[in-house]
Homo-oligomer: A and B are copies of this chain.
């Protein structure tokens, strides 16, 4: 099967003009078929605050009310997505910016209201990813660039976690491609010692992961990231890599989950 790299970048790159410019240059040089998924960052929060719209949080999670949905659609699918695409085009990477509504590429369902009403948050289903459509775009030589906005197929845009989009894309396309799912990160990988960038754990399998969790070496925010990674592996994704954005084209760098 042909290789496909799916790369996710976070707010730390997106909101910093210098970092974004450097990243797009490196990403453009990544060989073969590829997809980019980008998170949001503080531009949306800043815009909301400039407009006097308060961020609504419940249990540390953002609630997407209608005003917030408009803001994230403007920033993620508009300003951020198009800025990235223009920079990639300047680096001779034939990028095409997409929300999940575009070409019906990612169709989600509005998160059901249980204890908390998350508002306009979109959750993945097993059939969310329109893999044939995305494959057609890749076959045209295009590099899809996904913002974290999806739709429900009934006219409603929905806000969706970018990490989740990246892993759903990887799983959804795993029957078509030999996939490496790469999460770019502010560290050089998963670290044995969080204070030491030299302590990258180069490989983690499921047994190793349980051990590292028991020992408290992997904790906090890293756990959902790795759970997500192993979930993708169990669903056919060949490998998941966590690395620094600057190391994107260095195949030895970062932590490989398999």
Q: How far is the CA of A50 from the CA of B154 in the complex (A)?
A: 30
Given contacts A51-B51, A140-B136, A149-B82, contact A89 B104 (CB under 8 A): yes
A125 to chain B, nearest CB (A): 16
- Chain B contacts for A11, CB-based, 8 A: none
Residues 59-76 of chain A: 1 if any B CB is under 8 Å from the residue's CB, otherwise 0? 000000000001001111
Interface of A is mostly: helix
Quick one: which of B21, B86, B101, B140 contacts A82, CB cutoff 8 A? B101
- Chain B contacts for A85, CB-based, 8 A: 99, 101-102, 151
Q: How far is the CA of A149 from the CA of B86 in the complex (A)?
A: 11
Whether B99 lies near A103 (C-beta < 8 A) is: no
- Chain B contacts for A70, CB-based, 8 A: 79
Whether A151 lies near B89 (C-beta < 8 A) is: yes
A27 to chain B, nearest CB (A): 14
Residues 177-215 of chain A: 1 if any B CB is under 8 Å from the residue's CB, otherwise 0? 000000000000000000000000000000000000000
Quick one: which of B74, B90, B98, B101 contacts A153, CB cutoff 8 A? B90
Taking CB atoms and an 8 Å cut-off, the chain A residues in 71-128 that contact chain B are 73-79, 81-83, 85-87, 89-90, 94-99, 101-104
Q: How far is the CA of A137 from the CA of B103 in the complex (A)?
A: 10
- Chain B contacts for A81, CB-based, 8 A: 77-78
Taking CB atoms and an 8 Å cut-off, the chain A residues in 137-158 that contact chain B are 137, 140, 142, 149, 151, 153-157
Of all A-B residue pairs in the complex, the 9 with the closest CB atoms, nearest first, are A78-B78, A90-B155, A74-B74, A74-B78, A86-B101, A86-B151, A96-B103, A85-B101, A96-B102
A-B contact pairs, 11 of them (CB 8 A): A70-B79, A73-B83, A78-B81, A86-B155, A89-B151, A89-B153, A90-B154, A94-B103, A96-B103, A97-B101, A97-B102
Q: Which residues of A contact B (CB under 8 A)?
A: 21, 47, 50-51, 70, 73-79, 81-83, 85-87, 89-90, 94-99, 101-104, 133, 136-137, 140, 142, 149, 151, 153-157
